[in-house]
Structure 1
Amino acid sequence: MIPSSARQALARHARPVREAAARLTHPLVEALVTGAADPAGRPRSRRLRPRMPRALGLLPFRTIDLVLLADLALTFTLFDAGLSLLRDGVIRTHSPLDAEVLTFAALAFSLPLALRGRWPLAAWRMAIVLIPLGTVVSRQLSDPPYSTAATIMYVLVVYAVAVRSERHITVGVWIVSVLVAWMIHPGSLAVVAGIVTVTVLFGHNVRARRLAIGLLAQEERRSRQALAGQAVLEERTRIARELHDVVAHHMSVIAIQAEAVPLRAAGDAERLEEGLREIRALSLAAMTEMRRVLGVLREDDGHPDIAPQPGLGRLEELIDTARSAGLTVTLKVGGDLTGLPTAVSLSAYRIAQESLSNAMRHAPGSAVSMRIARYGAELHVQVTNDAGHRSPGEPRRMGHGLIGMRERVSMLGGSLWAGPVGAGFAVTAILPITENA
C-alpha cells in the first residue's frame, strides 16, 4: 500500500505534467477531431457571387459561387495533370501499376481541394489521410514522392484552414503536417516544413487582418448607431422644449379665460356657455399638443413620428386666441413671409407665442404690438406690450420661456434682445434665413 501522503505528493507532481500534456495535445485533438472552422469566411463581393441568369432560373440556387467553380476547375486540372504525370512515370520506370491505382493516387492528390471553400478542416483531414496513401503509389515512380499536384493542393488547403480557423487549430495543423511529412519522406522534411510554415503564417496574418477589418467595421457601425441615437435624443429633447411653449401658452389662456368668462357673462347664460366652449376648445388643443410631444418622447424604435409643427401660417389663429383672453393685439407684417424655412417659421411662431403668453401672465389686458418683417436674408420679430392691469409693485419673474427663445435663436445663429421698455416689455429677435435652417 502506498501511503496517502505519498499519493498526494505524487498527485501534486503529476498535475503539472498532465496540464502540460493537455496543452500540447489540445491543438492536435482540435485539428484532427473536435475543431471546426469559422462558419463563414470573409463576405465575398457580389462580383464573386453573380446572380443566376434568368434562362437558368429553374435551378435550385439563385447565385453562382465563382470561388467554388474555380476550386472545382482547379481540382479537375490537378487531377488530370497528376494522372498524366503518374502515367508518364509508369512508362519511364516500366512499373506494373494498373490504371485504377494511378487514378486513386491522382484523386488523393487533388480531391480535397474541392472541399476547402465550404469545409476547410474536413478538406485538410481528408488530405492528411489521402496523401500518405497516394505516396505509396508515387514513391515507386519518383523521389521524393510528392507531385506538383499534391503540393499545390495541400498548400491551398492549409491556407484555407489558417484563414478560417483559430490559432491553436492552425498550430495543430502545422504540427501534424510536419510529423506526417517526416514519416513519409524524412529527406524532404526541411522543404516541406518550410513550405507549410510559410503558408500557415501567411494565412494566419490574412485572418488577423480580416478580423481587424471586421472589428473596425463593427465599431464604425456602432459609432453610426450611437450618433443616430444621439441625434434622435437631441431631436426629442428639442421637441420636449416645445412642451413648455405649447402647454404654458394654452394653460395661461385657459386660466385667464376661466377668470374672465364669469365677469363678461355677468349672469348671461348664453355668454357663459360660449366662454366655456372656448375654454373647452383651448383645453382640447392643449391636450392634443401634449399627446403629440409625449408620443414622440415615448418612441423607442429610433424613428419618431414627428407631427408637423406650427408656423407663421397659424399666426392669425394665435392672435385670435390672445385677443379672446383679453389682450389687444396689433399685427404688422412686412415683406414676403411665404417660402420660409420650416425651422425659421416655427421659431418665429414660438417666439410670438411665448411673448403673448408672457403678456397674458405678467400684463393681463395689455395692448400688444407685434411686427414680423422680412429684410433680405433676415426675419425680424418684434413684440411689445404695455403694463396692462399689472400692479406697479408686482415683480417680473424670468421664466423658462425666455430661455427657450434664446435657445431657438441661438440654434439658428440669430440674435435676441428681451427686456423692460418703460412700464412694459419688449422682445426683439433676428433670425437668419438660410436654406439649411
Structure 2
Amino acid sequence: MPDRAVPEVLPVGHDLLRGGGVPGYGGGTAVERVARWRTWTAGLSPYVLDSSLALVSAGIAVWAVYNDDTRWPTWVYLLAVATAVPLPWRRRAPLTVLALYSAAEITLSVLAHSANAQVPLAGVLGLYTVAERCSDRARWSVLAVTVVGNVVGTHSPNGALFSVLTSAGSFVFGALVRTQRQLVRVEAERAREAGVRAASEAARAVAEERSRIAREMHDILAHAVSLMVIQAEAGPLVVRDNPDRAIRAFDTIADSGRDAMVQLRRVLGVLKDPEAGRELAPQPRLAELADVVERVRRSGLGVELELADGLGALPADVEAAAFRIVQEALTNTVKHSGADRAAIRVRRSGEVLEVVVSDNGRGVPLAADRTVAGWSGGRGLVGIRERAAACGGRAEAGPGPEGRGFLVSARLPLGPAGVVERVGG
C-alpha cells in the first residue's frame, strides 16, 4: 500500500483499537465482531474456512502487485500468492505458517522494492492465530520480532506506524478471543460443577425425604398394628367372661386402624404431590397425644399423661418429633416391657422441650448403655434417636430408677440447633 494512503487508514485503525465500528460493517466492540464472525462461520469446516481466507488473501496480494506502477515479472506474482498458501494450516501449526509467510514477505520486500507488493493480510491472520493459540512465551516473542521487523523494514514513519498498529491490532484481537475462550471454558466448568452439586443435593434431599417417610410409616404402622394385635389376641379370651371389655378391645382395633389409615394417607399425599413438598407432610401435634393415650389405655396399660402448662407455640418439627418419640416409646412399652403402668411427661425448660416416657416393666440390666448410640433394639429405638438428632437434640434410654422399668428421655431445642448442649445439657 502506498505511504500516501496511510493517513486515511490510521483513523479507522484507531477506531478499531478503541472498540468502534468500521463504517459499513456494523458496530460493537472488536470482541463482539469477532464473536459474530465465529458464530456465522461455526457451521463451516475450519479447513474450508481457512482455504477460503487463503484464496481471498492471494487475490488481494495479486491485485496489489498488479495495481503497482511497476510491471512486475511473473515470479513476483507467485511470491505474492505464496504468502497466502500456508493459511489453510494456520490452526494446526500457527508458528510455521507465520514463518513461511514472513519468508515470502521478506523476499518480496528485498527483491521487489515496492510497498504495494507487500500485502500483510496473510500476516495479520497468522499473527492473530499465534496470539489466539500459542503459549505466552511464543506469542510475545513473535509480537516483538514482528514489531521490530515492521519498524526496520518499512520505508517511512507513517508506513512503520501503520504496520505496527496493524500487527498490534491483530495480536490484540487474537488475545481477546483467547481470553474469551478461556472464560467460556471456565464458565462451562463452573456450570458443570454446579450441575453436579445440584444433582448431589437433589439426591441427598430425596434420600432424606425417603428416610423421613420411612420413619413416619414405621411409627404409624408399628404403633397401630401393635395395639391391634394385642387387642385381637385379648378379644377371644374375654369375649365370654367380660363382653364389655371385648367390645372395647374391638373398638380399639377399629380406632387404631382408622387412625393409621388417616395418617398413612397424609404421608402418601406427599408422594403423590412432590411439588407440594413438606407443606403436605404429616405434622402431628402434642394435643393429639390424648387420643393416643386413650387407645393405649384400652389395651390394658395404665398411662398417665402430663402436658405441662405454658408450653407455648412450638416449632412444627419439634412438636412432631416429640409426638413420634412418645408414640414410639409407648409402642415399645406395649410390645416388650410387660408393664402395666406408664407415665408421660412433657414440659418446657427454657429453650428446651423435655420429653420423658417411663414404665414399670422388666427394664434392662443396670450395665446397659444409657445413650441411644448404645441401643441394640429395633427400628423404633433408632427412629427415636434420629428424630431427636434431626431437631438438634438428643435422646437417652435405659433402666428406670433403681433398675426398675425402662425410661426414654429426649431434650429438643426450641431455638437454633445446639441449644441442648448450652442449656442444662
With normalisation by structure 2, the TM-score equals 0.58
Residue 426 (1) aligns with residue 407 (2): yes
Q: Deviations over 1:47-85 (max 9, x none)?
A: xxxxxxxxxxxxxxxxxxxxxxx999536159xxxxxxx
- CA apart distance, 1:136: 3.5
The CA RMSD over aligned residues, in Å, is 4.7
Q: 1:130 to 1:113 in 2, by over 3 A?
A: farther
Residue 197 (1) aligns with residue 130 (2): yes
- CA apart distance, 1:427: 2.1
Q: Which amino acid aligns with 1:215?
A: E
2:320, 2:35 → 1: CA distance? 67
Q: Deviations over 1:89-130 (max 9, x none)?
A: xxxxxxxxxxxxxxxxxxxxxx99974442257565544333
DSSP 3-state at the match of 2:22 = helix
Residue number in structure 1 paired with 2:381: 402
DSSP 3-state at the match of 1:418 = strand
Does the CA contact (< 8 Å) of 1:377 and 1:433 recur in 2? yes
1:179, 1:75 → 2: CA distance? 33
- CA apart distance, 1:173: 7.8
Q: 1:226 to 1:196 in 2, by over 3 A?
A: closer
Residue number in structure 1 paired with 2:92: 171
After TM superposition, the structure 1 = structure 2 runs for residues 124-163 of structure 1, keeping only pairs within 5 Å, are: 126-141=52-67
Residue 214 (1) aligns with residue 214 (2): no
DSSP 3-state at the match of 1:337 = coil
Residue number in structure 2 paired with 1:119: 41
- CA apart distance, 1:174: 7.7
DSSP 3-state at the match of 1:170 = coil
2:102, 2:36 → 1: CA distance? 22
Residue number in structure 1 paired with 2:391: 412
Q: Which amino acid aligns with 2:384?
A: M
1:196, 1:374 → 2: CA distance? 74
2:363, 2:188 → 1: CA distance? 70
Q: Which amino acid aligns with 2:410?
A: A
DSSP 3-state at the match of 2:91 = helix
Does the CA contact (< 8 Å) of 1:335 and 1:375 recur in 2? no
1:413, 1:229 → 2: CA distance? 22
Q: 1:195 to 1:418 in 2, by over 3 A?
A: closer
Does the CA contact (< 8 Å) of 2:391 and 2:417 recur in 1? no
After TM superposition, the structure 1 = structure 2 runs for residues 356-375 of structure 1, keeping only pairs within 5 Å, are: 356-363=330-337, 366-375=340-349
Q: 1:219 to 1:270 in 2, by over 3 A?
A: same
Q: 1:374 to 1:174 in 2, by over 3 A?
A: same
Q: 1:121 to 1:232 in 2, by over 3 A?
A: closer
- CA apart distance, 1:340: 0.9
Q: 1:234 to 1:195 in 2, by over 3 A?
A: closer
Q: 1:370 to 1:391 in 2, by over 3 A?
A: closer
1:424, 1:255 → 2: CA distance? 23
Does the CA contact (< 8 Å) of 1:384 and 1:425 recur in 2? yes
2:261, 2:193 → 1: CA distance? 42
Q: Which amino acid aligns with 1:337?
A: L
Residue 235 (1) aligns with residue 216 (2): no
- CA apart distance, 1:333: 1.7
Residue number in structure 1 paired with 2:360: 386
- CA apart distance, 1:299: 9.7
Which moved further from structure 2: 368-377 or 358-367? 358-367
1:433, 1:309 → 2: CA distance? 16
- CA apart distance, 1:354: 1.5
Q: 1:331 to 1:195 in 2, by over 3 A?
A: closer
Q: 1:72 to 1:171 in 2, by over 3 A?
A: farther
Q: Provide structure 1 residue ranges, at least 5 long, that are not aligned to the other structure.
A: 1-69, 79-110, 144-153, 162-167
Q: Deviations over 1:216-253 (max 9, x none)?
A: 32023212221231232133223323333222111110
Q: 1:268 to 1:302 in 2, by over 3 A?
A: closer
Q: 1:303 to 1:316 in 2, by over 3 A?
A: closer
- CA apart distance, 1:376: 1.5
Q: 1:181 to 1:300 in 2, by over 3 A?
A: farther
2:105, 2:359 → 1: CA distance? 103
Which moved further from structure 2: 264-273 or 410-419? 264-273
- CA apart distance, 1:183: 7.0
1:267, 1:231 → 2: CA distance? 54
Q: 1:77 to 1:263 in 2, by over 3 A?
A: closer
2:204, 2:256 → 1: CA distance? 34
After TM superposition, the structure 1 = structure 2 runs for residues 12-411 of structure 1, keeping only pairs within 5 Å, are: 74=22, 76=24, 115-119=37-41, 126-141=52-67, 170-171=91-92, 187=108, 192=124, 193-194=126-127, 196-201=129-134, 202=175, 203-204=177-178, 206-266=180-240, 275-287=249-261, 289=263, 307-363=281-337, 366-387=340-361, 398-411=377-390
Which moved further from structure 2: 224-233 or 407-416? 407-416
DSSP 3-state at the match of 1:361 = helix
1:315, 1:210 → 2: CA distance? 59
Does the CA contact (< 8 Å) of 2:90 and 2:97 recur in 1? no
1:328, 1:176 → 2: CA distance? 96
For these two proteins, the number of residue pairs brought into alignment is: 312
Q: Deviations over 1:4-55 (max 9, x none)?
A: xxxxxxxxxxxxxxxxxxxxxxxxxxxxxxxxxxxxxxxxxxxxxxxxxxxx
2:314, 2:20 → 1: CA distance? 65
- CA apart distance, 1:357: 1.1
Q: Deviations over 1:381-405 (max 9, x none)?
A: 1222223xx7999xx9944323322
Q: Which amino acid aligns with 1:214?
A: A
Q: Deviations over 1:348-383 (max 9, x none)?
A: 111111121122123456222211111210111122
Q: Which amino acid aligns with 2:334?
A: M
Aligned-pair identity in percent equals 30
